[in-house]
Amino acid sequence: MNQMLSIVSPMHNEEHGILEFISEIKRIVSPLGHDFEIVLVDDGSKDKTYEVAKSAAKDDKRIKLLKLSRNFGKEAALLAGLTYSQGDLIVMLDSDLQHPPELIPSMVAKFQEGIEVVKTIRTYTEKQSLQSTLASKMFYYIFNKLSYVPIHSGATDYLLISKRVKEVFCSMGEYDRFNRGLFSWIGFESFTFEYVAKERFAGETSFNLRLLIRLALSSITSFSGKPLRISFYVGLCTLGVLFLYLLYVVYDFFHHGTIRGWSSLFFSITMLGSVQLISIGVLGEYIYRIYNEVKRRPHYIVDEKSNL
């Protein structure tokens, strides 16, 4: 049976690179012998990306095009593309040719061996600025310390998944999405390829520092409730330290005759402070429960069944 391969790519201001991307994909995917489709999602581009892609789609019915009503962000654009893709196996990659399409045949070969999630890791080019390398290393360090699903520090959104993994992914109803985290959360046997990142073919990156910080915060909070618990632990620690210090204050009161009122003032301020921190922590605990509930993620995912 010929399995259909879907290529899903989000586009944001890629007018100068998109035709090259399409022809590269065709050149590399055609010899694989799969039926294929290229699902392109225009994520509210401000330039002629949509028009250029549309002209390509007119000549080739395998190019499917979606246009979002505005810029929803890459994660949402990918979700849209995945939802509309019809393949039995799906490859997601950026449309700026920074994810080398030459890797697709090896990824597809892994899928044929029965692996349903093929991931990629980027190793850095010399061109990549030290600053952004450090920032991304730091993000993954913090993320992996806090989160209950690990992500490799070079992990990218260049992935191959099977149709059923796609269906699980699309059924996750949460609003704030961090795809790499979600795919790690979904599980299944995976295999990872490495590649060296290339320069963009054309155009420029859509991500600035402000956007990256927002993404980092939302991905950490959607995969970890630990920040909510911080005040609880801080409260416990101050209470412990306070108790030791209190012994000293009482000793001081009787032996050196400290200024009247100081001990009681010190006691009430620090005591109240710790009690407040602990109460905030308890509130955080309840908010964490609500937060987990409103995400409505499925409770479990079945990998295989027999005799059922």
63 or 77: CB nearest ligand UDP: 77
96 binds ligand UDP (CB under 6 A): yes
Residue with Cβ nearer Mg ion (163 or 200): 200
Of how many residues is the chain composed? 308
Q: Largest Cα–Cα distance in the chain? A: 94
Measured distance CA(13)–CA(87) in Å, rounded: 26
C-alpha span between 37 and 56 (Å, rounded): 13
Backbone phi, psi, residue 7, to 5°? -105, 125
d(CA 35, CA 31): 10
Q: Find which of ligand UDP, Mg ion, none residue 86 binds, CB within 5 to 8 Å per kind.
A: none
Q: Tell me the three state secondary structure of residue 161.
A: strand
Work out what residue 75 binds among ligand UDP, Mg ion, none; the CB cut-off runs from 5 to 8 Å by kind.
none
Q: How far is the CB of 44 from ligand UDP (least distance, A)?
A: 7
- Residues with Cβ within 8 Å of 305's Cβ and at least 6 positions away in sequence, in order, are none
Q: Which is nearer to ligand UDP, 12 or 166 (CB)?
A: 12
Cα–Cα distance between 216 and 178 in angstroms, integer?
9
Q: What angle do CA 149, 151, 154 make, to 5 degrees?
A: 175
Contact flag: residue 125 with ligand UDP (CB under 6 A): no
How far apart CA 89 and CA 27 sit, in angstroms, is 18
User: Of 171, 172, 164, 170, which is closest to residue 189 (Cα–Cα)?
Assistant: 164
Nearer residue to Mg ion within complex by CB, 15 or 96: 96
Alpha helices in the chain (DSSP H): 18-29, 49-59, 74-84, 104-112, 130-146, 163-171, 179-186, 209-223, 226-256, 262-295
Stretch that binds Mg ion, among 15-23, 92-100, 158-166, 167-175 (CB under 5 A): 92-100
Torsion angles phi and psi, residue 118, rounded to 5? -110, 120
By CB under 6 A, tell whether 98 contacts ligand UDP: yes
| Count of positions on this chain that bind Mg ion (CB under 5 A) | 2
Between residues 100 and 284, which has the closer beta carbon with respect to Mg ion? 100
Q: Which stretch binds ligand UDP (CB under 6 A): 90-98, 113-121, 170-178, 299-307?
A: 90-98
Which amino acid is residue 98, in one-letter code? Q
Of the candidates 16, 19, 57, 71, which one interacts with ligand UDP according to CB under 6 A? 71
Residue of the chain from 7, 77, 103, 228 that contacts ligand UDP (CB under 6 A): 77
Query: Cα(153)–Cα(140) distance, rounded to whole angstroms?
Result: 5
Span of 16-24, 93-101, 107-115, 251-259 interacting with Mg ion by CB under 5 A? 93-101
Q: Does 73 bind ligand UDP (CB under 6 A)?
A: yes
Q: Applying CB under 6 A, does 116 fall inside the site for ligand UDP?
A: no
Which does residue 37 bind out of ligand UDP, Mg ion, none, counting CB within 5 to 8 angstroms by kind? none
Of the pair 71, 133, the CB lying nearest ligand UDP is at: 71
Q: How far is the CB of 227 from ligand UDP (least distance, A)?
A: 25
- Tell me which DSSP letter residue 155 carries: B
- Burial grade of 264 (CB within 10 A; 0-12, 13-18, 19 or more): exposed
Contacts to ligand UDP from residues 1-40, by CB under 6 A = 10-12, 14
Region 199-258 residues binding ligand UDP, contact defined as CB under 6 A: 205-207
If binding is defined by CB under 5 A, does position 98 make contact with Mg ion? yes
Residue ranges binding ligand UDP (CB under 6 A): 10-12, 14, 43, 71, 73-74, 77, 94-96, 98, 205-207
Residue ranges binding Mg ion (CB under 5 A): 96, 98
